[in-house]
Amino acid sequence: MTQSAVDLTTPLTAPSIRPLIARLPDLSGDATVRESAVVTHHGAGPDAAWWRQAVIYQIYPRSWADSDGDGIGDLPGITARLDHLSRLGVDAIWLSPFYTSPQADAGYDVADYRDVDPLFGTLGDADALIARARELDLRVIVDLVPNHSSDEHAWFQAALAAAPGSAERDLYMFREGAGDAGELPPNNWQSVFGGPAWTRITEGDGQAGQWYLHLFDPKQPDFNWEHPAVRAEFESVLRFWLDRGVDGFRVDVAHGLIKADGLPDAQERTTMLGDTVSDGAAVSDDVDVDDVDDVDDAGDADDHRVDTPYWDQDGVHEVYRAWRRVLDGYGAPDRILCAEAWVEPQSRAVLYVRPDEMHQAFNFDFLQTPWRAPDLTSVIKSSLRAADSVGAPSTWVLSNHDVVRHTTRLGYAPGYRVPNGISADDAQPDEALGLHRARAATALMLALPGSAYLYQGEELGLPDSTDLPHHVRQDPTFGRTDGQEIGRDGCRVPLPWVGGAPSLGFGPAEATWLPQPASYDHYAVDRQEGATGSTLELYRSLLAARRDLSLGTGSLSFVEGYGNDVVTFVNDAEGRDRLLVVANLGETTVMLPPGCEVIVASGPLAEAGVPTDTTVWARWL
């Protein structure tokens, strides 16, 4: 496969990327290409709400910046470095949990939804962060974890102290066990993190008693969302943070709140969320263009609501309708809800973003799509059709805190099943190839209409840390599977800010809560700042052009005439030139059609055209 001779892991040293773009060769050729007469997606228009086109940046607080020297990131550290995101050109930030928590699952085990864990600061620090974001014209979205709490939450502690059948226990999922003496779990459900999804408690009299459900770690008991007090409590939590000025919520495990009546046995084995095939089986176009007006009636032979009776039950939608009414009560500017819902097929996933429910849902089909042009073309078409069927934007994403970074995933051959976390004992990715492809994948994603999410560090081209010693790992899935699943620590390593500095500028301490690999020195922010060809400068150029051209609200039509190894489309809108996007995934260099002016490219271009694993944006006059 043809690869660029430029080492993309080491930024070049010119002062700016824009002079490079100005010197790009004329790639116009004799390619016989034409824009399809069929418009895949019609634009949202210039007056569309901010969230229909926003680029939102995920901050994982533990790993962003440390202000107090304990080796763990915190809210003051985030506030101090928000200028980085203003210069990057994003519209909003999403903060992973910073609530009071024993940190059994890095904060996704919440003990108090209305306070900040001392590890991260105080409520005053949260207010200061929100205020600073306002000054920089950045909106703030916070994580909400409604499926489960910490076992140290006051409600769960009261439930343990109460008797079976009590009102306290009814707020969670307590059940009698199976077997002659209740010695067996109530059903066969397995934890996402490995092992049974049920834990038996010892009652006040010292006897073995009821079992409680935890779809994740035993320290994360599931709420009973059929109980009105649970629903009222979370509506109150929404108001608490909205009153403090946040602009919305990313909803963790949004598809898991309601369980099937009777808690029947599952027919499928649960695996770790984000255990993707990276790229594996092709993604099919599961939304029939002729049927998209009737999504409620869409069916699928592989019904995960039956096979896994704790995911995607219809009752979740009434919860989110009630939440939408709460948010709408705050008026303009729009406050939003974004669903983390690993739901198939797409016709089910878009039910979460109907007009009276959530505003956005992560497009995990896109994240999991193999690096193959036909698969990418297919998932882009089906995603836009599905979202359009309910009047929602598609929300594109390539990386987050739960999956192997796309720079690393794309360093393997398409079809290789990337495990849930990579260790030094596993097959290692081609780091340079992965970065080259990741830059092209990001350029493709940011040209698509709709909203997009970035994960911290991807603007630096960070790979996963694939050589973490096992004794430092903190993801509960590693322990609960006896190391069979490595887990998510590799994508959560603290960011490098200053090359050569202690903890690479992450904070005053020498060490960080997860050790940074030696290679991160080359990716540090200061080493990429103003460096022609660096990934940081590429992201800045892409985001500036995306905003200038209003690509998030554009229409999209595919272009015909290239082979099966090229993804190419036009993003168009009234009052500006058409943007042609060409992503070459094949082994042969391809030419742009006549009349093109290159705006930005994901990597160096050849005199002969667009080389392998490169995406180009060009005005098509």
> pLDDT tens-digit profile of 61-117?
999 999 999 999 999 999 999 999 999 999 999 999 999 999 999 999 999 999 999
Report pLDDT for 21.
39
Q: What is the pLDDT of residues 229-258, one digit of tens each?
A: 999 999 999 999 999 999 999 999 999 999
E strand or H helix that includes residue 384: helix 373-389
**Mean per-residue pLDDT for 321-326?**
98
Q: Answer yes or no: is pLDDT of 213 > 50.
A: yes
Q: How far apart are CA 276 and CA 415, in angstroms?
A: 11
Q: Answer yes or no: is pLDDT of 420 > 50.
A: yes
Q: Which of 66, 151, 252, 375 is catalytic?
A: 252
285 — pLDDT class (breaks 50, 70, 90) = very low
Q: Specify the 3-state DSSP secondary structure of 599.
A: strand
Q: Specify the 3-state DSSP secondary structure of 621.
A: coil
Radius of gyration of the chain (CA): 24
Mean pLDDT of the chain: 90
Query: CB neighbours (10 Å) of residue 510?
Result: 9
Q: Which of 340, 357, 365, 375 is catalytic?
A: 340
Q: Answer yes or no: is pLDDT of 274 > 90.
A: no
Q: How far apart are CA 337 and CA 251, in angstroms?
A: 7
CB distance 361 to 248 below 8 Å: no
Q: How far apart are CA 552 and CA 45, in angstroms?
A: 10
Q: What is the pTM of this model?
A: 0.91
Which domains, from first to last, does the chain contain?
17-42+556-620 (2.60.40), 50-149+227-542 (3.20.20.80), 154-213 (3.90.400.10)
Q: What is the pLDDT of residues 434-448, one digit of tens each?
A: 999 999 999 999 999
37 — pLDDT class (breaks 50, 70, 90) = low
Q: Answer yes or no: is pLDDT of 366 > 70.
A: yes
Residue that is written with structure tokens 């032979």 in the block: 301
CB distance 551 to 89 below 8 Å: no
233 is catalytic: no
458 is catalytic: no
155 — pLDDT class (breaks 50, 70, 90) = very high
Both tokens of residue 249?
Answer: 């919520």
The verdict on whether omega for the bond into residue 15 sits within 30 degrees of 0, i.e. cis, is no
Q: Answer yes or no: is pLDDT of 4 > 60.
A: no
Q: What is the pLDDT of residues 551-592, one digit of tens each?
A: 999 999 999 999 999 999 999 999 899 999 999 999 999 999
What lies within 8 Å, CB to CB, of 57 at 6+ separation is: 85, 88, 90, 92, 93, 94, 453, 454, 455, 456
Q: How far apart are CA 576 and CA 307, in angstroms?
A: 49
Q: What is the pLDDT of residues 481-530, one digit of tens each?
A: 999 999 999 999 999 999 999 999 999 999 999 999 999 999 999 999 99
Report pLDDT for 35.
80
Q: Specify the 3-state DSSP secondary structure of 107.
A: coil
275 — pLDDT class (breaks 50, 70, 90) = very low
